[in-house]
């Protein structure tokens, strides 16, 4: 299977996650600029925290599916590391931008930081195949049973084995989130072997825009917040 082949259903699923994320962030921005009434608590209100968990889970599950497809297609190390460098570079830009906007709660290990590290682990663990399922479950459950104050700092909180969530605008540690990505990888391997049509089947025309959007996740992720915030600030100036 050539690397250029697209799985439109996966792209559409990723595109849906991107739209959901943009709507979530737009509401967050409105709230941050005191334009959302009544004011919302995005850090504690389950209505928002559960959405955030669902969005991140969907992104990481799609990333795992994508890794299964890429490895079946024979993705070489050079192509993998080029993409990885783009993700890691954008993660550094997110840290810098968040420090400018939120100096007390800047992002030291958010979704892009987590994805950069988890993709390396997923690539190394992919040959386990069936063994990925119990490993994913272990990754999901381990932080519930193994915690220590030793990890409650910016140097080690990326592990996820913290006793309290750090003060930051985005936090996606390796544990338990690696479990979600490994579930996507294991599911992708199983679908390619047994239900390939679920990934490669035709896509209804109505979902074509989502599939097109889903082919540019990193660009969309980096650009959507500056655009949304710019539009909000422009609207505030014109009021």
Q: Whole-angstrom Cα distance, residue 36 to residue 213?
A: 27
pLDDT in tens, 167-206: 999 999 999 999 999 999 999 999 999 988 888 888 999 9
Structure tokens at 125: 């663990």
Q: Give me the residue label for tokens 């390619």.
A: 192
Q: Whole-angstrom Cα distance, residue 159 to residue 144?
A: 13
Structure tokens at 38: 């009544």
* Predicted confidence (pLDDT) at residue 104 exceeds the cutoff of 80: yes
Q: Cα 160 to the chain's mean position, in Å?
A: 16
pLDDT score at 74: 87
pLDDT score at 45: 95
| Residue 14 dihedral angles phi and psi, to the nearest 5° | -65, -40
Q: Whole-angstrom Cα distance, residue 148 to residue 139?
A: 16
């Amino acid at each position: 299977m050539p690397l250029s082949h697209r799985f439109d259903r996966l792209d559409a699923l990723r595109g849906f996650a991107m739209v959901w994320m943009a709507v979530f962030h737009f509401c967050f921005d409105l709230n941050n600029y005191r334009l959302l009434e009544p004011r919302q608590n995005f850090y504690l209100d389950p209505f928002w925290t559960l959405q955030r968990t669902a969005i991140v889970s969907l992104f990481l599950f799609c990333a795992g599916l994508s890794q299964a497809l890429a490895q079946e297609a024979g993705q070489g190390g050079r192509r993998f590391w080029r993409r990885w460098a783009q993700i890691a570079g954008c993660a550094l830009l997110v840290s810098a931008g968040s420090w400018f906007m939120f100096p007390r709660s800047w992002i030291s290990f958010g979704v892009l930081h987590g994805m950069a590290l988890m993709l390396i682990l997923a690539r190394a663990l992919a040959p386990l195949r069936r063994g990925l399922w119990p490993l994913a479950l272990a990754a999901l459950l381990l932080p519930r049973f193994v915690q220590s104050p030793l990890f409650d700092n910016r140097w080690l909180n990326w592990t996820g084995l913290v006793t309290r969530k750090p003060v930051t605008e985005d936090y996606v540690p390796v544990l338990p989130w690696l479990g979600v990505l490994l579930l996507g990888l294991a599911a992708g391997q199983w679908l390619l072997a047994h239900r390939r049509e679920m990934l490669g089947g035709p896509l209804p025309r109505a979902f074509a825009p989502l599939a097109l959007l889903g082919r540019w996740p990193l660009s969309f992720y980096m650009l959507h917040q500056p655009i949304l915030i710019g539009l909000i600030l422009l609207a505030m100036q014109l009021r």
